[in-house]
Amino acid sequence: MEEEQQEDTTSRRYDGWEDTYNTLLMRLDPTPTLERIKHLLMNYKYDEPNDKWVPIMINGKPIKRRMTQEGIEKLMLELYGRMSIDKVLSNLKETKINLFVKQLGEVLLQFLWFNTDEFDIKEGEYESIIWLVLHNVEIFLRRALLGSENRLLNKSMEMKEVHQRNVRDMDGGGMGGFAQGGKSSKWLGGMAGGR
């Protein structure tokens, strides 16, 4: 019985850390932002009830992509290289974020200008493409403003650790309230195998 309780406690701790790790990955991962940009460039919208991206339709026909699929993929490679977990955990000042976004805007404009024919980009789409990308990237990077995401994660981890420590203390150090190693258990009021 005691072994089952110990295994159950160990399992709960492992599950707790696994949940924390997965939560951290989801919070820090730029992939959802990058996927949103990619689908918006393809002129797709998110269909919440069906939990998937679908083409925007007008008169029963999908709207043409803002550029070819190859162009979208090459643009996404550029963005993947510029957006990372490291950036979100940085301690960036607003001037640095603004500079980064401005530089990305210049890179995007050059990309669009030099690849207009190859990727079938209409010049009238330049502004909307640049705005769409920069807006989403800036929102992503603002999470790093003065280390706010980093502080939030640290606070979250501290709270989780305190909670786990309290749970361990309440159940006798992970043994379900039974005495361990000749020391008395708080759960039994100091009456179980004390000194």
CB atoms within 10 A of CB 189: 9
Query: pTM for this structure?
Result: 0.63
List, for residues 68-126, the tens digit of each pLDDT value.
999 999 999 989 888 877 777 677 788 988 999 999 999 999 999 999 999 999 989 99
36-45, 95-104, 181-190 — which one is most confidently predicted on average?
36-45
Give yes or no for a contact between 110 and 58, defined as CB atoms under 8 angstroms apart: no
Q: Tell me, what DSSP letter sits at residue 47? A: E
Select the more confidently predicted residue: 154 or 131.
131
pLDDT at 86: 75
pLDDT at 156: 59
Q: How far apart (Å, rounded) are the C-alpha atoms in residues 111 and 67?
A: 12
Exposure pattern of 118-145 as b/e (b: 16+ CB <10 Å)? ebebeeebbeebbebbeebbeebbebbe
List, for residues 45-78, the tens digit of each pLDDT value.
999 999 999 999 999 999 999 999 999 999 999 8
Would the CA dihedral through 97, 102, 103, 105 be positive or negative?
positive
Mean pLDDT of all residues in 156-163: 61
pLDDT at 135: 94
pLDDT at 195: 41
CB atoms within 10 A of CB 108: 21
Give yes or no for a contact between 78 and 114, defined as CB atoms under 8 angstroms apart: no
pLDDT at 177 over 80: no
The full set of domain ranges for the chain reads: 2-166
Distances, alpha carbon 97 to alpha carbons 35, 139, 149, 190, in Å: 21, 10, 14, 57
Exposure pattern of 23-59 as b/e (b: 16+ CB <10 Å)? eeeeebebeebbebbbbbbbebeeeeeeeeeeeeeee
pLDDT at 92: 75
pLDDT at 145 over 60: yes
State the residue for tokens 């159940």: 171
Residues 6+ apart with CB under 8 A from 142: 97
Q: How far apart (Å, rounded) are the C-alpha atoms in residues 21 and 34?
A: 21
pLDDT at 184 over 50: no
Mean pLDDT of all residues in 19-29: 64
pLDDT at 18 over 60: no
pLDDT at 90: 72
